[in-house]
Chain A
Amino acid sequence: MALRNSSLLETLVYGPAPESDSTARAWIDQHERRFGLFINNQWVHPEGREYTDTCSPADNTSLAAICEGTAEDADVAVQAARTAFTSWSKTSGHERAKFLYAIARQMQKHQRLLAVVESMDNGKPIRESRDADTPLCVRHFYYHAGWAQLMDSELPQYRPVGVISQVIPWNFPLLMLAWKIAPAIAMGNTVVLKPAPSTRLSALLFAEIVLAAGLPPGVVNILPGGNDLGFALVNHPDVDKVAFTGSTGVGRLLRQSTAGSGKKLSLELGGKSPFVVFDSCDIDSAIEGVVDAIWYNQGQVCCAGSRCLVQENIYDRFMHKLRRRMNNLRIGGPLDKCVDIGAINSKRQLDTIAGYVEEARASGAEVIQSTAPLPEGDGFWFPPTVIANVQPTSKCVVEEIFGPVLTVLTFRHPKEAIALSNNTAYGLASSVWTQDISLALDVAFQIRAGVVWVNCHNMFDAAAGFGGYKESGYGRESGKEGLKEYLEFKWKGVVRRSFTDEQKAAPWGADTPPAIELPSAGSARGQSVDKTYKMYIGGKQSRPDGQYSRTIRSPSGAMVGEVGEGNRKDIRNAVEAAHKAAPGWGKRAAYNRSQILFYIAENLDARFEEFAKRIASMTGESIESARNEVTLSIQRLFYWAAFSDKHGGSVQETPLYGATVAIHEPVGVVGIACPDRFPLLGFVSLFAPAVVRANTTVIIPSEKYPLSAVDLYQVFDTSDLPAGVVNIVTGTRDVLTKTLMSHMHVDAMWYFGSDIGSYHVQHASACNLKRTFVSYGVERDWASNEQGQGHEFLYEATQVKNIWIPAGV
């Protein structure tokens, strides 16, 4: 029988090793192959809804028909979540922890079913859904069960945010769901989650896990639907936060549609992550790293290592090994346990990928594809592909392909490797391959990305934050840092703003010259020498580019001085100066930055009375009140000087043997528009946390009362503050803000102006996805320690980079 005359006796090959789909199909059949919406712990099938087939990418056959939620359903679901929030937010941490624990346990008990459903619906190999996706999901709920338990004691200053709209992509349907739901409900929020149109089944299976775990109705609602539903959820007035994972294009739209609303927003967007291979690496391990980096999940991974940068002197050897390895990959049905690469999720994505590769071929690139056979039939298959002979100018190197396509470039030395790594709009992840730890860390520190893997790629764990720099978005998922996205400070009330189209369209920050008034006869001089306030750019006192001045008057109308009327060129110069200062300032020891801040406080104190008088004369406040403001400003400088060397980061407790280190890096160049009130304290409370955490700044002082800020540059000059760390541009707040907002080289904007101004700031921030910290027009009591200092400012002044450093010889 069996092996008689079989060719297998002579030549071994792999055979099919199918994972059975019968249990999964039985589950689908239980639902009569027709799924509704999951609202308030119930399956609902509202009247008149369309049903769309969800298909298996492996053979393009329908698995089930799924109800398309509408804006009306979004209303019902948000209402359910709102009602549930009332009690869920008051449920004790321990009780919530027990629910999360139950979800983790339930997922574990049904892990194989979850994995099979995921592979059927998404097309990913069962090996991945079984060994990566589902265990990571389980881990995520365990980890956050822990945080629910610890919230009261470890996060006492925070409250839950409220109702969260969550929109997730199709590449990791279940894992992204876990990343979104676990921290949200752990922190006492309730959620409405919209799975991606092409991958909904595992989310619906998760709904049954929610039921099995006995979660109260309305805490988790799952609404399948299309883009319209997505926007209905995002724009719903009763939603407090939007969390999104997906493309940078959609991320921009979400930033714009939530602008000024007061809703929190976290975005986990695209990437074009560098995979940096030095000649000092274990080259065979690096080749396997490529497999993990770009052929994991068919390359449909936002943090895929899609830009391979290879040191020129090992390029030929690397490519030889890479070709050989690529030909060894097995492409096949997702439920085959002997397969490395499954199906692309959809025809549309397949066409996109093919389009990029064809474009590269047509433009003269060298396209190398695996010789491994593709399965027959109607599935969406694409071979592992490497594109060489490309440059940073090539489209396939610049844009995210989101498929199994690696681009390869060479570099000559570490400095060039870092420059090429950072030569991208994105900043999600990266990996560095070398056995030289000094080199690895040097590169890891300098790559601007939220994750750096040393000698590995695509490692994930619930204990280590994940999220991007630059146009890869903001906010983190996983780790303690990820919780912040689902927390609000207790002192903060709910702010919800909406604007009519007319209000939005009204001119804002238009660059019209202000009405210029010349001082009345003799008033500029008075008894003393004429006083000239300049801007402060690059450590130099400079006259405004436009050579106009504006008169500053006290509330009684008395002229108290003249400041330069800044324009877009002053902003441009200031941003340039800030960038020039950034590398040096970033490399200063934290101790040194604290010394400078302490020294600024000391020198301010030396001129205490002068500053108090200036505040009093400008604002018309009493001298006592003005003195109090100076006293508080000095205190605040001490406070931030103290924090200079006490917020460096932490070691994350991932399963990796070695160290996973979370570093709190500066955000970059931060624009700051100061509040009108508290002309000195407001300025100090904003510039100090920014610079002490190694950012450099372009600051627009109080529009009404700018003189205290301008006086301060003399203090800076005598306090060893390096040139360009603080740049001050006086003038019309919104005019200057507008230029900052459209500046592609500004990384964040802190805006303490009007509500409509906050709208414009956030709307305009979408151009390069700069982070925003805005007031929504709400006055803050800068004199209060609760409102004027603290972790809110640390959060805004830093971004978390997680560096994974395995150990072992």
Chain B
Amino acid sequence: MGNPGIPLDLGWVHSARVNKSATERRAAEIGTRRSIKKLHQLAWLLRSLRCIDLTTLAGDDTPSNVKRLCAKARNPVHIDTLRLLGIENENITVGAVCVYPNRVKDAVAALEGSNIPVASVATGFPAGQTPLETRLSEIRLAVAAGAREIDIVIPRTAALLSDWQGLYDEVKAMKEACGSAHLKTILATGELPTYQMVYQCSAVCLMAGADFIKTSTGKEPVNATLPVALVMCRAIRDYYDRTGVKVGFKPAGGIRTAKQAMAFLALMMEELGEEWTHPDLFRFGASSLLGDIERQLYHGTTGRYHAPQYIPMG
């Protein structure tokens, strides 16, 4: 498993072309061409839930709120709803818990025995404007603390200067620093000026060995959008065509509703296929999405609209 990467192919990077208007048109259609109803909708909602990297990335994170989040990660849906769905024995959990490096230990402890991986952001998240040395050591420390997945930010400076070699080298070094941990590369697409550059950065990260490519830190003004997701998925598909290696995708930031999640999942179905809707190849980076999915599952099973006081906090 994992993406071993390939040597940097600058020809691929330079020949990349993305048309904004057509890309946005296609992205806008995903939600209107595909409509998922009833039982299928419940299954899709559950799948979305299992793909969530339940996230807290705040300056005021402490062991207690991380613990609470981890408890929610283990039990993301109220048992009554699970019973109504007939899946109370299915061990439904989210995909991972995502925290800052300093909180990895807390999360690992809280998730012990659950097999839910802890993901840590690293590399001077969210700006990435610290020395490479520091960034690499941050990765190593997070892995040492028990993180099984590392969400790094790419140096946008390199991208904006079209320094593809520099970008490749840094991401490759980060991959090595990860060891056996999975590398997710955050493009911070809100800071990349064009879709074409989103594709180019995706391609470079893929060649450098990213196991996932991820849209955003959640800290940029614009986060995961469907057109950006579309461009990144197409890069993943092209990489697969070239290498036979399957790389995952993680939209993050701004995904708050079940409806949005369904559109992203439909995008994965359409562009990459069902295989890419499972947690090993698809994750949502989200904190409040889970609540809405739980509400929808409740409505789908009982026919009643839900109220927040019945949903245990995460």
Chain A's closest residue to B88 (CB) is A4
Closest approach, in angstroms, between the C-beta of B38 and any C-beta of chain A? Answer: 7
Pick from B24, B35, B46: contact of A3, CB under 8 Å? B46
B301–A435 CB distance below 8 A: no
Closest approach, in angstroms, between the C-beta of A20 and any C-beta of chain B? Answer: 12
Q: Interface size of B by Cβ–Cβ distance < 8 Å?
A: 41
Closest approach, in angstroms, between the C-beta of A133 and any C-beta of chain B? Answer: 14
A14–B36 CB distance below 8 A: yes
Cross-chain pairs A/B with CB under 8 angstroms, 15 sampled? A4-B85, A5-B86, A8-B39, A14-B36, A17-B36, A280-B17, A285-B23, A289-B22, A338-B36, A657-B21, A806-B22, A808-B20, A808-B24, A809-B20, A809-B193
B17–A282 CB distance below 8 A: yes
| Bound complex: CA A9 to CA B90 (Å) | 10
Chain B's closest residue to A292 (CB) is B25
A809–B196 CB distance below 8 A: yes
Assuming the contacts A15-B39, A455-B19, asked whether A338 and B33 have C-beta atoms less than 8 A apart, the reply is yes
The B interface, classified by DSSP as helix, strand, loop or mixed, is helix
A456–B85 CB distance below 8 A: no
As a 0/1 sequence over residues 224 to 238 of chain A, the CB contacts with chain B under 8 angstroms (1 = contact) are 000000000000000
Chain B's closest residue to A1 (CB) is B86
Assuming the contacts A15-B39, A282-B23, asked whether A320 and B34 have C-beta atoms less than 8 A apart, the reply is no
A3–B87 CB distance below 8 A: yes
Closest approach, in angstroms, between the C-beta of B226 and any C-beta of chain A? Answer: 13
| Bound complex: CA A127 to CA B47 (Å) | 25
12 extra A-B contacts, CB within 8 A, seeds A2-B301, A5-B86, A14-B40: A2-B39, A2-B86, A6-B43, A8-B39, A9-B43, A12-B43, A12-B265, A12-B269, A15-B37, A282-B19, A340-B33, A456-B21
| Bound complex: CA A60 to CA B293 (Å) | 41
445-473 of chain A: CB within 8 A of chain B? 455-456
Complex contacts, B34 vs chain A, CB 8 Å: 14, 338
Chain B's closest residue to A288 (CB) is B26
Assuming the contacts A3-B87, A328-B270, asked whether A809 and B36 have C-beta atoms less than 8 A apart, the reply is no
Q: Is B44 among interface residues, defined by CB-CB distance under 8 A?
A: yes
| Bound complex: CA A509 to CA B33 (Å) | 59
A131–B84 CB distance below 8 A: no
Q: Is A519 among interface residues, defined by CB-CB distance under 8 A?
A: no
Closest approach, in angstroms, between the C-beta of B174 and any C-beta of chain A? Answer: 28
B44–A12 CB distance below 8 A: yes
Q: Is A555 among interface residues, defined by CB-CB distance under 8 A?
A: no
Assuming the contacts A4-B86, A435-B19, A455-B22, asked whether A338 and B35 have C-beta atoms less than 8 A apart, the reply is yes
Q: Is A362 among interface residues, defined by CB-CB distance under 8 A?
A: no
| Bound complex: CA A522 to CA B95 (Å) | 109
Chain B's closest residue to A436 (CB) is B17
Complex contacts, A658 vs chain B, CB 8 Å: 21
As a 0/1 sequence over residues 795 to 809 of chain A, the CB contacts with chain B under 8 angstroms (1 = contact) are 000000000001111
Complex contacts, B33 vs chain A, CB 8 Å: 127, 338, 340
| Bound complex: CA A39 to CA B44 (Å) | 52
As a 0/1 sequence over residues 278 to 321 of chain A, the CB contacts with chain B under 8 angstroms (1 = contact) are 00111111101100000000000000000000000000000010
Q: Is B61 among interface residues, defined by CB-CB distance under 8 A?
A: no
Complex contacts, A340 vs chain B, CB 8 Å: 33
Closest approach, in angstroms, between the C-beta of A115 and any C-beta of chain B? Answer: 13
As a 0/1 sequence over residues 1 to 40 of chain A, the CB contacts with chain B under 8 angstroms (1 = contact) are 1111110110111111100000000000000000000000
A806–B40 CB distance below 8 A: no
Chain B's closest residue to A284 (CB) is B234
Q: Interface size of A by Cβ–Cβ distance < 8 Å?
A: 41
Chain B's closest residue to A320 (CB) is B241
Q: Is B188 among interface residues, defined by CB-CB distance under 8 A?
A: no
Complex contacts, B19 vs chain A, CB 8 Å: 281-282, 285, 435, 455, 806, 808
Q: Is B99 among interface residues, defined by CB-CB distance under 8 A?
A: no
Pick from A3, A15, A806: contact of B86, CB under 8 Å? A3
Complex contacts, B195 vs chain A, CB 8 Å: 809
Assuming the contacts A12-B44, A14-B34, A288-B22, asked whether A283 and B17 have C-beta atoms less than 8 A apart, the reply is yes
Complex contacts, B265 vs chain A, CB 8 Å: 12
Assuming the contacts A283-B17, A435-B17, asked whether A12 and B241 have C-beta atoms less than 8 A apart, the reply is no
Q: Is B32 among interface residues, defined by CB-CB distance under 8 A?
A: yes
Q: Is B194 among interface residues, defined by CB-CB distance under 8 A?
A: yes
Q: Is A337 among interface residues, defined by CB-CB distance under 8 A?
A: yes
| Bound complex: CA A455 to CA B22 (Å) | 7
Complex contacts, B17 vs chain A, CB 8 Å: 280-283, 435
Closest approach, in angstroms, between the C-beta of B33 and any C-beta of chain A? Answer: 6
B87–A806 CB distance below 8 A: no
Pick from A2, A8, A9, A285: contact of B26, CB under 8 Å? A285
Pick from B25, B37, B43, B269: contact of A17, CB under 8 Å? B37
Chain A's closest residue to B194 (CB) is A809
B40–A15 CB distance below 8 A: yes
| Bound complex: CA A284 to CA B18 (Å) | 8
B35–A17 CB distance below 8 A: yes
Pick from A1, A13, A131, A289: contact of B40, CB under 8 Å? A13
Closest approach, in angstroms, between the C-beta of A384 and any C-beta of chain B? Answer: 14
A15–B241 CB distance below 8 A: no
Complex contacts, A656 vs chain B, CB 8 Å: 21
Q: Is B258 among interface residues, defined by CB-CB distance under 8 A?
A: no
Chain B's closest residue to A806 (CB) is B21
Closest approach, in angstroms, between the C-beta of A730 and any C-beta of chain B? Answer: 54
Complex contacts, B21 vs chain A, CB 8 Å: 455-456, 656-658, 806-808
Q: Is B274 among interface residues, defined by CB-CB distance under 8 A?
A: yes
Complex contacts, A338 vs chain B, CB 8 Å: 33-36
3 closest A-B pairs by CB: A4-B86, A806-B21, A808-B20
Q: Is B224 among interface residues, defined by CB-CB distance under 8 A?
A: no
Interface centre among A4, A8, A12, A328 (most CB of B within 10 A): A12
Q: Is B277 among interface residues, defined by CB-CB distance under 8 A?
A: yes
| Bound complex: CA A340 to CA B35 (Å) | 11
6-35 of chain B: CB within 8 A of chain A? 17-26, 32-35
Closest approach, in angstroms, between the C-beta of B9 and any C-beta of chain A? Answer: 15
197-244 of chain B: CB within 8 A of chain A? 234, 241
Assuming the contacts A1-B86, A2-B84, A284-B234, asked whether A15 and B36 have C-beta atoms less than 8 A apart, the reply is yes
Chain A's closest residue to B266 (CB) is A14
Complex contacts, A283 vs chain B, CB 8 Å: 17
77-100 of chain A: CB within 8 A of chain B? none
Q: Is B42 among interface residues, defined by CB-CB distance under 8 A?
A: yes
B40–A8 CB distance below 8 A: yes
Pick from A4, A127, A285, A288: contact of B87, CB under 8 Å? A4
Closest approach, in angstroms, between the C-beta of A367 and any C-beta of chain B? Answer: 24
